[in-house]
Structure 1
Amino acid sequence: MNILFIADPLETFKTYKDSTFAMMRELQRRGHRIAACEPRHLVWQATTGVQAHVRHITLTGHEERWFHETPEPPLQRLAALRDFDAIVMRKDPPFDSEYFYATHLLEQAEREGAQVFNKPRALRDHPEKLAILEFPQFTGPTLVTRDALAVRAFHAEHRDIILKPLDGMGGMGIFRVKDDGLNLGAIIETLNRDGAQTVMVQKFLPAIAQGDKRVLVIGGKPVPYCLARIPQGGEVRGNLAAGGKGVAQPLSARDREIAEAIGPVLAARGLLLVGLDVIGDCLTEINVTSPTCFQEITDQAGFDVAAMFVDALEQALV
């Protein structure tokens, strides 16, 4: 098969931990061809359909100069997305206007015959903070609002809360306000911008001390191990980008219950790969843009996550 990855610049990959790289490596091991581009390389014209300036690459197996490109720039040519067997959308957040526009171009490519994973419409329909609202049976107390008074009332009820922006990533912009309410007003002003921006507020879950668990679901089925991202040094955030320590561990009964309930629903909507965030027994986020932790789980638990992903991708293309 000929697989096109839409991702961040290849030169920025940290191959020792990058999940997209793990996917590429497993695809090449099975004899599939790999190409890559960035969302900015997508082009549409009525006469040609959706095309991209693509980089055809071969992985070298070396840590530095980890890929070889053929042909070398500037001899690359536009390629129609419909001519690839699969398009794997792996652009990291933020989910900004350009990401949104890219999903529309990819949806047009689908109309022209391309197969895109995760499906562009499903990416738009499942914002990573708000997607949990569909599954309240698995969440802790949560509020979504622009109203500062509603936030204050939520704090008065629950006493220890987490506030976060809806467009944050990697733990960015997350605040904890304890029982004393210290700086609550300033934090509300910072996040909701005088009522102009919606925020999410959740009851603080003490189980974060045992980790913010990333539960991967591939083709509707849970990976049997999760990565518990444990806050370090007094941090409230477990995100690896915020300095959390990743510890692979088997799924708990509750992790599996959540994943087995939600996974098939999302898979049926075209979400081949999903990353559920679970703290204790509560679902806190559903990540659909570019879920990670493949290599950390494989390295620590010995379960080949990339192989499970490629199995599911191959099956989806049969």
Structure 2
Amino acid sequence: MSHSVLIVMDPIESIKTQKDTTFGLMLEAQRRGWTLHYCQPQDLYLEKDQVFAANQRVSVEDNPQNWFQYQDAEQVLTECGDFSAILMRKDPPFDMNYIYSTYLLELAQQQGALVVNDPASLRDCNEKLFTAWFPEHTPSTLVSANAARLKAFAAEHQDIILKPLDGMGGASIFRAKKGDPNLSVIIETLTSHGKNLAMAQQFIPEITDGDKRVLVVNGEVIPYTLARIPREGETRGNLAAGGSGVPMPITDNEKRIAEAIAPELMRRGLLFVGLDIIGSFVTEINVTSPTCMRELENEYQINIAGQLFSALEDQLKQ
């Protein structure tokens, strides 16, 4: 039986194919004979009670100079319920337009589309805040807009990380040590002078060994991780912030943590998730468009994308 998949993503012409997880998922879908359809979030629309996508069929090739071709000269309109599956792979920021897209995809889901990840869970599971559902696996954390509380947390822990709740790629992440003269302005900046919530976490010294990306696919923990190691003089391991990615086998402790979290991910319909683990702590749970798949596949000759599409095909048989 032939299948079709709608990929909702950022502009396909701007991706870096060698490390783009969404592109790797498209390659796997095509290899399996799925028809690929592409659109951006603004191409979704609701008319009366039906959700449509203005989309184009595409083909892909693992060629960094010429990685996609449109099969339709112009966008065509398709009811979202007619696709076998829809992959929501739009990168953050997680703004109101993103939320509106999840409402449309949730309605499409009710009309028969298999949407990954589950749209309601994309809204519910903020990538920073969702760690609070697993306090036994997280560092000491405070979420607040109150400067006095944040300063008290800094005084208690002496060395902390402060970050916004809606960022990605290491953007606007600050480290503040005891007596940091910039603490007040950091707090003012992140909270917009007490209007916005921000997160403070105890600094984890094991960041020097890497911020490990652990992928969980259909509830199964991938046995390899990508350690994002900060460059010299930097706190952040994010690749977008200049960190270097080093593939390595998962540790027993990392596997134990991921396996403890996996059942809740499955309960919420989160089939493709990236956990960020530093030392013995989960610092983020990435559900919108987790990355690092291609690096692990290339290093260890494994097929992570295949695990996801096998799970989708099994669901479609039911």
TM-score by shorter chain over 0.5: yes
Asked if 1:107 corresponds to 2:115, the answer is: no
- Superposed CA offset, 1:44-102 (max 9, x none): 1116x1011111011244322211212212xx320110000000110111110100000
Secondary structure at 1:223 match in 2: strand
Percent of matched pairs sharing the same residue: 50
Partners of 2:181 and 2:43 in 1: how far apart?
Answer: 47
Hey, what does 2:272 align to over in structure 1?
273
Distance 1:66 1:255 in 2: 35
Partner of 1:66: 67
- C-alpha distance in 2 between matches for 1:183 and 1:277: 27
Map of 1:53 onto structure 2:
54
Partner of residue 26, structure 2? 24
Is the counterpart of residue 313 in structure 1 residue 312 in structure 2?
yes
Structure 1 unaligned blocks of 5 or more: none
1:254-307 deviations in Å (ceiling 9; x for gaps): 111111111121112111111110000001011000000011111223322222
Whether the 8 Å CA contact 2:213–2:227 is kept in 1: the answer is yes
CA contact (8 A) 1:231 1:238 kept: yes
Query: Contact 1:162/1:174 (CA < 8 Å) preserved in 2?
Result: yes
Residue deviations 1:215-258 (CA, integer Å, cap 9, x gap): 00000111110111000031100001001100111111111111
The alignment's TM-score, normalised by the length of structure 2, stands at 0.96
Instruction: Give the structure 1 partner of residue 91 of structure 2.
Output: 92
Quick check: 2:86–2:115 contact (8 Å CA) kept in 1?
yes
Alignment coverage as a number of residue pairs: 315
The residue aligned with 2:197 is 198
Which residue does 1:303 correspond to in 2?
302
Residues 278, 10 of structure 1: alpha-carbon distance in 2 compared, 3 angstrom cutoff? same
**Structure 2: distance between partners of 1:244 and 1:235:** 8
- Report the more deviating stretch, 94-103 or 265-274: 265-274
Q: Using structure 1 for the length normalisation, give the TM-score.
A: 0.96
Instruction: Give the match's secondary structure for 2:65.
Output: coil
Does the aligned pair in 2 maintain the 1:41–1:54 contact within 8 Å? yes
The alignment yields a C-alpha RMSD, in angstroms, of 1.1
Matches within 5 A, 1:150-165: 150-165=149-164
Partner of 1:261: 260
Q: What do residues 12-32 of structure 1 show as CA deviations (whole Å, max 9, x unaligned)?
A: 111111001101111111111
Change (3 A) 1:61 1:151: closer
Question: Any idea what SS the aligned residue of 2:99 has?
Answer: helix
DSSP 3-state at the match of 1:291 = coil
C-alpha separation between the residues in 1 aligned to 2:187 and 2:95? 22
Q: Which structure 1 residue ranges, 4+ long, deviate > 3 Å from structure 2?
A: none
8 Å Cα contact 1:17-1:296 kept in structure 2: yes
- 1:249, 1:301 within 8 Å by CA — same for their partners in 2? no
Note if 1:2 corresponds to 2:7: no
- Decide whether the 8 Å contact of 1:162 with 1:201 is kept in 2: yes
C-alpha distance in structure 2 between counterparts of 1:87 and 1:20, whole Å: 12
Are 1:218 and 1:273, in contact at CA under 8 Å, matched by a contact in 2? yes
For 2:63 and 2:283, the matched residues in 1 are separated by 38
Provide the C-alpha distance between the structure 2 equivalents of 1:63 and 1:156, rounded to a whole number of angstroms: 49
- Structure 2 distance, partners of 1:51, 1:201, is 41
CA deviations over 1:183-214 (Å, ceiling 9, x no partner): 11111111111110111000100000000011
Question: Are the aligned partners of 2:17 and 2:62 in contact in 1 as well (CA < 8 Å)?
Answer: no
Gaps of 5+ in 2: none
**Within 5 A, what are the aligned runs for 1:198-277?**
198-277=197-276
SS at match of 2:189: helix
Secondary structure of the corresponding residue to residue 128 of structure 1 = coil
Distance 2:314 2:291 in 1: 21
Secondary structure, aligned partner of 2:17: coil
